[in-house]
Amino acid sequence: MNTLYHELRLLTDNPHVIAAIDTAAIPGAPAELLRGLEKIVSILPETPAGQRFAKECFWAKFQEKFVWHTAFGKCTVRKEHAAYWLRAMREAAQRRNQQWPPKPVFMPAVTMPEAWEGKREKPGRVPREGKI
């Protein structure tokens, strides 16, 4: 088994996710099956409504590096790089006596502000153009 799949198995104890990882590890598995599994099964922890992973959180970096997508792809070089990164993160956590897999850290999701239409203008306020 590729080391990427071994490292991914260390991140979870969910039997559905482990089955998806084992299926992805089979050489010659149909690409349609792998793409379907990648979309249906997720290794990421549940995110509360209105929240997202903080930038410094392991799980945000995991998403940013597309590690889960790489496991279901064909490129062996990317798989090796992802496995190396996961192993380095795991070994660093062990050296620091930290929990593995790390708990997720959340922050409020960024939302777009409403467009200003001027309908709720405060009385007596003069616009920047100087027109009243």
Q: What is the pLDDT of residues 70-83, one digit of tens each?
A: 999 988 999 999 99
Give the pLDDT of residue 120. Answer: 67
Mean pLDDT of all residues belonging to the chain? 88
Structure token pair of residue 37: 């599994």
Question: What pLDDT is attached to residue 74?
Answer: 87
Helices 31-40, 15-25: inter-axial angle, 10-degree rounding: 160
Q: What's the pTM?
A: 0.77
Q: What is the pLDDT of residue 125?
A: 65
pLDDT in tens, 17-30: 999 999 999 988 89
pLDDT at 86: 95
Task: Check: CB of residue 36 under 8 Å from CB of residue 12.
Answer: no
What's the rounded Cα separation, in Å, for the pair 53 and 10? 20
Least confident of 4-8, 34-38, 55-59: 34-38
Q: Residue 127 pLDDT > 80, yes or no?
A: no
pLDDT band with cut points at 50, 70 and 90 for residue 111: confident
